[in-house]
Structure 1
Amino acid sequence: MLPELGIIEGFYGPLWSWQERTQLVEALAPEGYRFYLYAPKADPFLRRRWAEPHPEADADAIAGFARHCQSLGVRFGIGLSPFEIFNHFDDDARAALAAKLAWLDRLGIRDLAILFDDMRSDTSALAATQADIVHWVAERSAVDRLFVCPSYYSDDSVLDRVFGERPANYLEDLGRLLDPAIQVFWTGEEVCAREISPGHLARVTGQLRRRPFLWDNYPVNDGDRMSRHLHLRAFTGRPADNARHLAGHGINPALQPTLSQIPALTLVACYRQGKGYQYGAAFVSAARATLGDALATQIQRDLLLLEDSGLGRLSREKLAELQRRYQTFDHPAAREVVAWLAGHYQVTDDMVQTQ
């Protein structure tokens, strides 16, 4: 059983080009990826400066990509992060949000996500306030489907350490107060979950009073530590039986759009093959389909260096050797490896704190 699969472009760090997004969606749409949520943290007009309009050229590019997704049978949506709006949902905030929703309607998007992730709260009734905001949006938006990302979107205690302790019964209250038609994102027991089990999803379903819509933070590699590693290996820890416990499954891709296709394809194999799934064989198959035999073989040989050792443990000599090696390949994935080796994909703490 294949759940609804899609891409959630929700990472910190450098923005992709529209050509890169187009190539990714064209590669994955025939394999079962049926939605694309545009929500990069680096787009300031969706997060820190959300109340300001996008520049005309950017708006035209988003609209053009939305039309292209539709031509491929892929739902296109926007993830809007009205930064800390739950701390001051006053008349000015309502007016700005209404204007933003009108602009989104003009784009013709089908999905809208209101994202409350990675923000601090000084609101006592956080779940009730957020539910009110989402319902206010629902009354004024023409989208087919509405999502919300909670402030506490995982069991992971790192959220409490960074953004303050979660209110008691936050998840249960949010699930009780939200209209059942509204989808709720969830990342698992951890922000970047090593495993997501049917038992865990069943428990969260009870808390939310609906099946969670999985925001899977693999193969994403943003942040200072993770951006020093390429996430290339096949999906593990996502048993096919999860499908019956999920409303859908979106993956947050790596900073490298072409290389992200490799794990993305293995997730399809994981669901389709069920107990017959072998993650090593799935990686080889996906790498060959994405890269061709020669480059796939080279990536497989260097997997320990690229994914496990990472930039922090590669000597200057080894970095230079790898750069020379991948410069011999005329392929966008090889160019991504070369750029990563040169540090062009490094995400700093300052970027995470200011995007």
Structure 2
Amino acid sequence: MTPELGTIEGFYGRPWSAEERAANIAFLAQHGYGFYLYAPKADTFLRRRWAEPHPTEMADDLARLAAQCRAAGVRFGVGLSPYELYLNFDASARAALAEKLAFLDGIGCVDLAILFDDMRGDIEGLADKQIEIVDWIAARSGATRLITCPSYYTDDPILDRVFGQRPPGYLEALGAGLDPAVEIFWTGPRVCSKELTAEHLARVAETLRRKPFIWDNYPVNDGQRMAPFLHLRAFTGRTGEIGAEIAAHGVNPASQAMLSRIPMLTLEMLYRDAAYDPDSAFHAAAEAIAGAPLARLIEEDLAAFQDVGLDALPEKEQAALRARYAAFDHPCAREIALWLDGHWRITDEIVQTQ
């Protein structure tokens, strides 16, 4: 069973350009990707400055993006992170939120995600406060699909260390209190899950009282620790049988828009092919995206890109890789060259300010 597939541009650091978004939406629509959620951490007008209106140029870009999605037959969505709104959901906050919702309706947002991640969560009555906000939004938004990301969207204890200990029974209360029509994001047993099993997802569905909407943090490579790597290998640790256990499968791609297409194509193959083999899938996807000669080089250098990483590559080897890919006039080769030059490096300061 192939679930609905989609792109969630939800990473830290440099967001994709308008041209990269449009090109990927059109291309991936041909390979089963039916929704696109705009939620880059760099758009502060959806996060810490959510109560402020988007500048005119950004607003116009988003309206164009929505139109491009419609033309490609792809659902356009936006991820709104009303930063710690649940601490003070007063009349002023409600007025600002109503204005933001009207703006999103106006640009053509049909999928609206309310994101409570990356915020303090050790608060009494957290689930009830978030349910109140989501219900309030549902009554006023024109979006035809509403999704929310819990403050604790995985079993991973790292969230408790960073954002405070999750309240007892938080997910159970959220699942019981939210309207059944509201979808709930889930990343799996970890923030970046190496494995998603049918058994795990069935258990989560019981807790949430609905099938989880997967936010898959592969091949994303944001953050200070992941930015020095290129995640290009095919999807593993997932099998086609999980399709029956989930509401949809959204992929948080890498910062490199063209290279992201390689693993993203393999996810469609995973669901479609009962005899899915990751190595064969990578080979086919890399050839489809980069062409056979360049794909062969990328395959030869996979270990350097995905296992060794930029920080551990000797300067001599970095120079050899630059020369190797400079011979190709192709977006994949240019993205590799930029990665080698540190174009997508991310500092703690960038993460903290976004």
TM-score (norm 2): 0.99
Distance 1:111 1:69 in 2: 12
CA distance in 2, matches of 1:302, 1:123: 47
Unaligned residue ranges in structure 1 (runs of 5+): none
1:16-65 CA distances to partner (integer Å, 9 max, x unpaired)? 11001111112110110000000000111110111111111111111111
Where in structure 2 are the equivalents of 1:134-173 lying within 5 Å?
Answer: 134-173=134-173
**Residue 121 of structure 1, CA deviation:** 3.5
Give CA-to-partner distance per residue, 1:175-208, whole Å, 9 cap, x none: 0000000000000000000000000000000000
Question: How far is the alpha carbon of 1:325 from its aligned partner?
Answer: 1.2
Letter in 2 for 1:42: A
Aligned pairs for 1:99-138 (under 5 A) are 99-121=99-121, 123-138=123-138
Rounded Cα–Cα distance in structure 1 between residues aligned with 2:253 and 2:290: 17
Tell me the distance in 2 between the aligned counterparts of 1:56 and 1:328.
Answer: 40
Q: Is the 2:235–2:278 contact (alpha carbons within 8 Å) kept by the matching residues of 1? A: yes
1:122, distance to aligned residue in structure 2 (A): 5.7
Which residue in the other structure is 2:290 paired with?
Answer: 291
Q: How does 1:177-326 map to 2 (within 5 A)?
A: 177-274=177-274, 276-326=275-325
Alignment-mate amino acid for residue 134 of structure 1: V
Aligned equivalents of 1:126, 1:216: Cα separation in 2: 24
1:41 corresponding residue in structure 2: 41
1:221, 1:230 within 8 Å by CA — same for their partners in 2?
yes
Cα distance in 1, alignment partners of residues 328 and 176 from structure 2? 54
Q: Distance in 1 between matches of 2:168 and 2:287?
A: 48
Partner of 1:337: 336
User: 1:127 Cα deviation (Å)?
Assistant: 0.5
Give the CA deviation at 1:258: 0.3
Q: Root-mean-square deviation (CA), in Å?
A: 0.7
- Classify the secondary structure of the residue corresponding to 1:114: strand
Give, as a single letter, the amino acid of the residue that structure 1 aligns with 2:208: L
Task: Report if the CA contact (8 A) 1:127-1:174 is conserved.
Answer: yes
CA contact 1:220–1:253 (8 Å) conserved in 2: yes
SS in 1 for 2:134: helix
CA contact (8 A) 2:12 2:42 kept: yes
Write the distance in 1 (CA, Å) between the matches of 2:87 and 2:44.
Answer: 19
Structure 2 residue ranges without an equivalent (≥5): none
1:60 partner SS: helix
Deviates more, 1:118-127 or 1:51-60: 118-127
Q: Give secondary structure in 2 for the equivalent of 1:224.
A: helix
What CA distance in whole angstroms lies between the structure 1 residues aligned with 2:57 and 2:353? 23
Query: Matched residues in 2 for 1:231 and 1:11: separation?
Result: 14
Q: Aligned to 1:8, what secondary structure does the other structure show?
A: strand
CA contact (8 A) 1:84 1:121 kept: no
What is the CA distance between 1:152 and its match in structure 2?
A: 0.1
Partner of 1:348: 347
Residue type of the alignment partner of 1:282: A
Report matched runs for 1:16-27 at 5 Å. Answer: 16-27=16-27
Q: 1:333 Cα deviation (Å)? A: 1.0
SS in 2 for 1:7: strand
Counterpart code for 1:181 = A
Alignment partners' CA distance in 2, 1:240 and 1:177: 31
Instruction: Tell me the CA shift for residue 123 of structure 1.
Output: 3.1
SS of the residue corresponding to residue 228 of structure 1 reads coil
User: Percent identity of the aligned residues?
Assistant: 58
Q: Any idea what SS the aligned residue of 1:6 has?
A: strand
The letter of the residue matching 1:37 is L
| Structure 2: distance between partners of 1:238 and 1:328 | 36
Kept after mapping to 1: 8 A contact 2:122/2:163: no
Alignment check: 8 A CA contact 1:202 1:245 kept: yes
